[in-house]
Amino acid sequence: MARYLVGDVQGCDGALGRLLDTIAFSPSRDTLYLLGDLVNRGPDSLAVLRRLQGLGDAVRCLLGNHDLSLLALAHGLRAPHQGDTLEAVLAAPDRVPLLDWLQHRHLALLEHGVLMVHAGVLPQWDAERTLALAAEVEHELRGPGARGFLEHLYGNEPASWNEGLLGADRLRVVVNALTRLRFCTAAGEMDFGLKESATQAPEGLMPWFEVPGRRTAGVTVAFGHWSTLGLVSRPDVLALDTGCVWGGCLSAARLGPTPAEREILSVECEQAQVPGGT
C-alpha cells in the first residue's frame, strides 16, 4: 500500500491522469493526498473534480485558495477573475454534488507523520493547534452559515494571529495562513504581495518555514501553492507545487518509512500559462 502526496493540479486533468498512470495508482490499494488548488487556470477543472470524487475514500483532498474562490463564485459572492477557467464546473449538470463534495474537503490533515496544508502555517501554531483551527473553518464551511462565511472571507487583515480574535477576523487569518501564506516576519505577520522565490525575500520577511523557533519544526509539513519555490524535499519541509499550470510539472511524493526514503515522481504538463499566478 503506497501513499502519495500531490501538488497543485489546478484543472490539469491530463497531467493528473498521466501522473496516476506513472505511479500505477490503485484506489483499492493506495491513498492519494492532494494539497489543494484542485481547480482553476488549467483546461479541465470539471474533469479533475469528477475524477477525484469518483476515486472515493482512496483520495484525501485539501482546499486551496482557488478551490475556495470557486465556492465563493458559485455562491454569487465574487465575479470571475481574468484567467479563471471555471465556467464548465458552474454549468455542469452535476454541479451541485461536485461543489458539495468540494465544500467538505479539509483545510489541514496530519497523517503518517506529515502535516498537510495548502500554503503555510503560522510560527505560533503547532500541529495540534493548526488542526484545531482548520476544524473551526471546516465547521463553518460545511454548515448552514457557509454563505456568510464565504462572504466575509476575503481581505488581508488582520495580518497576524492572536488568541483573542473572534468571528470573521479569526477565520480569515486561519484561511489566509493555510491557503495563501508564503512570506511573513519573524513574529508571524503575513505578507501577501510577494510571489517570488524563497531567496528573494526583502529585509524583514522570510519564508514561513524558515522562521526561527516555529512550533511545527518537529513535524514534516507538506504544502503546495508556491510555484516559484518549486520542489523542496527536506526532513521537515515538503513543497510540491512544481508549476504544472505554468508549463512545469505535476509532482507526487511517495512517502517512505523515513523522509530520506521519499520518492519524487513527476510528469510534464502541456499547459502553458504565463508564470506568476497564485
What band does 278 get if pLDDT is binned at 50, 70 and 90?
low
What's the rounded Cα separation, in Å, for the pair 254 and 240? 12
Q: How far apart are CA 175 and CA 67, in angstroms?
A: 12
Residue type, position 198, single letter: A
Question: Between 245 and 277, whose confidence is greater?
Answer: 245
Burial class (CB in 10 A: 0-12, 13-18, 19+), 166: exposed
For 179-209, the pLDDT digits (tens) are 999 999 999 999 998 888 888 888 999 999 9
CATH of domain 3-268: 3.60.21.10
Residues 232-265 have pLDDT tens digits of: 999 999 999 999 999 999 999 999 998 889 999 9
| Amino acid 275: pLDDT | 42
Q: Where are the domains positioned within the chain?
A: 3-268
Mean of per-residue pLDDT scores for the chain: 95
